[in-house]
Every structure is written in structure tokens, then in C-alpha cells.
Amino acid sequence: MSIKNYHHGDLKKQMILKGLELLNEKGTDGFSLRKIAAMCDVSHTAPYKHFKDKHDLINEISNYVISEFDNSIINSLDKSLNPKDLMIEIGKSYIKFMVENSNYLKFLMFNDSLFSAKMVDGDILNSNSKSFNIFKDNAIKMFECYGIEKEEYTLNIITMWSVVQGVSVLVANKNIVLDCDYDILLDKILRNKLKLD
């Protein structure tokens, strides 16, 4: 009879990644630390060295996904670019991350409280994602450069967010097969929608 190991490699990270797969496949009702232990080929008690319970692991998965996404946007920033070109780069990084990490995209889509915003007095706010705030702050700089009225800021931010999220889903799910790079498509869409040229 084989004895399963308690540790091998970075077990905590492996459990987060396997937990992400399981959550996307089975949802919270089909999620358990025992199942994660089996997926990681460790003893059913091993997860408790890292997580109090399944809710603790789910919370860690949420934090990990948001952190990975935020870091991908932060690491893509080229502050030497003008606000319009930087906005395009942020959009491209958003789509690239979601397309290359479809498990993350699915998780974020079905956990709307993780990556969501709310309208307050005509402004759009998000408190749990650095990347959203980077996106919004740079959008405002771009609007200022083009003399866009403040009353149009929120609508334009929602439009741009819808575009990058929509293209992400379409490309990641292979609902559309492009005959060009998505960064070229995104550039054209944003310029057309926002009348930037």
C-alpha cells in the first residue's frame, strides 16, 4: 500500500491552481479539500497545513487570481507612452492575460464580486483590483488629452472595459477566429468607438 506524501514542491501553490480548476469545473458545491488533496496526490490531511477549511482555500484562490491579473497589467506598463498608446497597451495586456489564462477568465466571469465595479454619483469605482484603477486613471488622462467632457468619462470607461472584456471572451472561447492580431483589432475598435483620431 502506498503512503501519500504530505509535501512535494510548492504544495500551497499547487493546491491553489488545482483548486481553481476544480472550482471552474464543479463550483463551490463540488469543491472540497479532500478532492484537492487527491488531485495533488497528497494525504487528505495535508491541505490543513496550509488552509483552515475549503473557504480559506477559495479565498486564497480569489486573491491569487486577482494578484496575477493585477501584476500582468502592472508589468506591461510603459510610462514613456502617451496616454492613448498606453491605453491600447493596457487593453492588449488585459486580453492577452485572459486569452492565455482561460481558467482565470472563467473564474472571474463566474465570481462577479471579485472583479466588479459600481456606479456612485456618476463615477465608476472598484476597490479590489489595482488593474482596474490603473485602467481608469490612465483613461482619464487620455480623456483630458483629447478634451473629452467629464460627463462622458464613465460612459467611455464602461465602453472600453466592455470592448476588452468582450474581445477577451470571444478570442478565449474561440467564438471568433481573427485574421489579425487582437491588438490590431483592439486599436481599431477603441479609436473608432472613442473617436480618438
What are the structural domains of the chain?
A: 11-51 (1.10.10.60), 66-194 (1.10.357.10)
Q: Check residue 71 and give its pLDDT.
A: 92
Going by pLDDT thresholds of 50, 70 and 90, the confidence category of residue 115 is low
Q: In this structure, what are the phi and psi dihedrals at residue 97, rounded to the nearest 5 degrees? A: -60, -50
State the pLDDT at residue 194: 60
Which residue has better confidence, 22 or 122? 22
Better pLDDT: 181 or 36? 36
Distance CA 101, CA 99 (A): 6
**pLDDT over 70 for what percent of the chain?**
89
- Half-sphere exposure for 118 (CA within 13 Å, toward CB): 6
What is the model's pLDDT at position 114?
58
Q: Which residues pair with 120 in a beta bridge?
A: 123
pLDDT band per the 50, 70, 90 thresholds, residue 33: very high
pTM of model > 0.95: no
Residue type, 23: L
Q: What pLDDT does residue 113 have?
A: 57
pLDDT of residue 5: 45
Q: What is the pLDDT of residue 1?
A: 36
pLDDT of residue 58 exceeding 90: yes
pLDDT surpassing 80 at residue 8: no
Q: What is the pLDDT of residues 132-191, one digit of tens each?
A: 889 999 999 999 988 889 999 999 898 888 888 888 888 888 888 878 777 787 777 777
Among 15-19, 78-82, 184-188, which is the least confidently predicted range?
184-188
Section 50-77 average pLDDT: 92
